[in-house]
Amino acid sequence: MLELRHIHKTYEGSPLLTDISFNVDTGETICLLGASGSGKSTLLRMIAGLEEPDSGNILFNGMDLAATPPHLRDFGLVFQDYALFPHLNVNDNVAFGLRMRRLPPAEIRERVAEALELVSLSEFGQRRVTDLSGGEQQRVALARALAIRPRLLMFDEPLGALDKKLKDGLLEELRAILHRTQIPAIYVTHDQEEAFTIADRILILHDGQIVREGTPAEVWAYPQSAYVAGFLGLGKVFEGAVMGQQNGEWQVESGFGIFHVRCNHKHSRGEKVHLLARPFKVQDDANAVSGVVTDVIFQQDRYKVTFDNGLFVYLDAPPKVGEHVTVRVKVECLA
């Protein structure tokens, strides 16, 4: 459906996005995950037609959109601060896009009611949008975007201004709505929890490029780079030097000890590689980390144990501070 080909964009002279290409298919929710300033919002604005790429193409069903102005694209965009029209009430906000399409009043009424129903705000039609809570405003913004039955829905950090509990509830609702309507969606966020909850596929943006693409499970299992592993907080990321190869595993020496890891690439002796130590205790791995316990934090079903060397692991039973502990963990090669 939507296809981006080699998009380039500079901002005030320096490159913001370089060679971005990806697809969004029917019924699929894509999540663009990246730190602030990584250019993800700009990417959305370009798809919406509010900005133009310096080069590259944006196609929908094979048709280039370069000549299509934003109001003719039929893409719904939900903004971070909702961008509700303060001079219109809830009904009129939701009806806005339908009025622009000059639909008959009866149909507008019907579709507004339907959209408000979808976001559980049926009773709110006559309210002023400035009187609504943040979560309610967010739902109105969603209803407004849904009412036009867009060919594509885009969300620009839509839950950024809400507290965690509200966020979790809305996220589940949104997931259900997207699933039911089968509208392809692009969801932009810097919050990995949101991304992992909502996305069928995650694209991680860094330095203007897509550094990792895959389903949430794939990305989680194989971060493939030090940046992604660090950004997602998968464990301790550190550097080591390759010593040699043994039975298909590489021996890597680091400040935390010598580890045996599987790598996707061939390495030469002495080469620097990034390793990831996942903080979970395992039975069947040859690798182990150890250190003197400096801190033990209770975390509901486990204890986070920090060592004096900066490593940490999650354990079921708490050791004592000052104790020397060795734990078997999974260590991976990140390149």
Binding site for other proteins (CB under 8 A): 45, 48-52, 69-77, 79, 81, 83, 85-87, 96-97, 100-101, 130, 144-145, 148
Instruction: Report the residue number, 100 or 221, with the smaller CB distance to other proteins.
Output: 100
Bridge-based pairing state of the strands 288-299 and 312-315 = unpaired
Min CB(135)–other proteins separation in Å: 19
Q: Which helix (H) or strand (E) holds 48?
A: helix 40-48
Min CB(9)–other proteins separation in Å: 11
Of 114, 111, 91, 90, whose CA–CA distance to 101 is shortest?
Answer: 111
Min CB(151)–other proteins separation in Å: 12
Min CB(110)–other proteins separation in Å: 18
Q: Which amino acid is at 126?
A: Q
Of 128, 134, 125, whose CA–CA distance to 166 is shortest?
Answer: 134
Instruction: Report the residue number, 22 or 79, with the smaller CB distance to other proteins.
Output: 79
Angle between helix axes 134-147 and 90-100 (nearest 10 degrees) is 20
Residue 46, CA atoms < 13 Å, CB-side half-sphere: 26
Instruction: Report the residue number, 141 or 205, with the smaller CB distance to other proteins.
Output: 141
Instruction: Report the residue number, 6 or 87, with the smaller CB distance to other proteins.
Output: 87
Torsion 188-238-18-266 (CA) sign: negative
Burial category of 195 from C-beta neighbours within 10 Å (exposed 0-12, middle 13-18, buried 19 and up): buried
Min CB(36)–other proteins separation in Å: 17
Contact 228, 220 (CB under 8 A): no
Instruction: Report the residue number, 93 or 189, with the smaller CB distance to other proteins.
Output: 93
Instruction: Report the residue number, 146 or 234, with the smaller CB distance to other proteins.
Output: 146
Task: Measure the CA–CA gap between 274 and 134, rounded to whole angstroms.
Answer: 42
Instruction: Report the residue number, 51 or 253, with the smaller CB distance to other proteins.
Output: 51
Min CB(109)–other proteins separation in Å: 17
Min CB(70)–other proteins separation in Å: 4
298 Cα distance to chain centroid: 28
